């Protein structure tokens, strides 16, 4: 099979970026802005909530190594899909839980993933399926943020618990971690 790319939003893109970079079979992760109504958004504009964009990741993976279902199940483990327009203290439409299919086939795969995840959550899933639109790569500072800033407070308090949760449920699909003290990043 040829590589597949899913565009997924689950709060701050730093979190999903960190999760997918340790997933076997993932060949590329790009933090992007999508789903908005302005051209060439930047971080400051997106943070105002007025551009309509979501912080998302474009995850490219080899389906022969890691299945579409696993990529999507990790998505639902790596964020809270039951909180509308927020993830923890990150609040605004830019932090919404959303999936952006490239075609009708992906839309069906995404809808099935939402249904598969429903029984895992006490509260209703609010994840939306939205038109893909244009992808605008986020500034270079945001790309691979966790590896560059493992001791950043946000990484320690927000990303590390998400990585731990994903490791507990999907260890067989993840790269082995380095010893504690480096943020657990497998480099």
- Nearest CA-CA partner of 4 in 77, 101, 118: 101
Q: Which residue has the tokens 């970026």?
A: 17
Beta-bridged to residue 57, according to DSSP, are 8, 31
CA distance 131 to 40: 17
Q: Alpha helix (H) ranges present in the chain?
A: 13-21, 43-47, 68-77, 104-117, 145-148, 153-154, 160-170
* Contact indicator for 15, 79 with CB cutoff of 8 Å: yes
What is the rounded CA–CA span in Å between residue 91 and residue 85? Answer: 6
Query: Is there a catalytic annotation at residue 47?
Result: no
| Catalytic residue, candidates 12, 15, 47, 155 | 12
Q: How far apart are CA 157 and CA 68, in angstroms?
A: 29
Encoding tokens for residue 1?
Answer: 């099979």
**Catalytic residue set:** 12
């Amino acid at each position: 099979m040829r590589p597949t790319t899913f565009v997924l939003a689950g709060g701050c893109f730093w979190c999903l970026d960190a999760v997918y970079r340790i997933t076997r079979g993932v060949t590329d992760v790009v933090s992007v802005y999508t789903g908005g109504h302005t051209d060439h958004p930047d971080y400051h504009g997106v943070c105002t909530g007025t551009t309509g964009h979501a912080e998302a990741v474009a995850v490219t993976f080899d389906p022969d190594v890691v299945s579409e279902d696993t990529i999507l199940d990790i998505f639902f483990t790596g964020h809270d899909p039951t909180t509308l327009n927020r993830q923890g203290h990150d609040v605004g439409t830019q932090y919404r839980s959303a999936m952006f299919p490239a075609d009708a086939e992906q839309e069906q795969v995404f809808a099935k993933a939402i249904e598969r995840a429903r029984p895992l959550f006490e509260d209703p899933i609010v994840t939306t399926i939205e038109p893909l639109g244009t992808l605008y790569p986020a500034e270079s500072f945001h790309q691979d943020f966790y590896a560059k800033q493992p001791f950043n407070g946000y990484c320690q308090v927000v990303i590390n618990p998400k990585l731990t949760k994903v490791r507990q449920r999907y260890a067989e699909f993840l790269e082995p971690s380095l010893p504690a003290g480096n943020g657990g990043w497998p480099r």
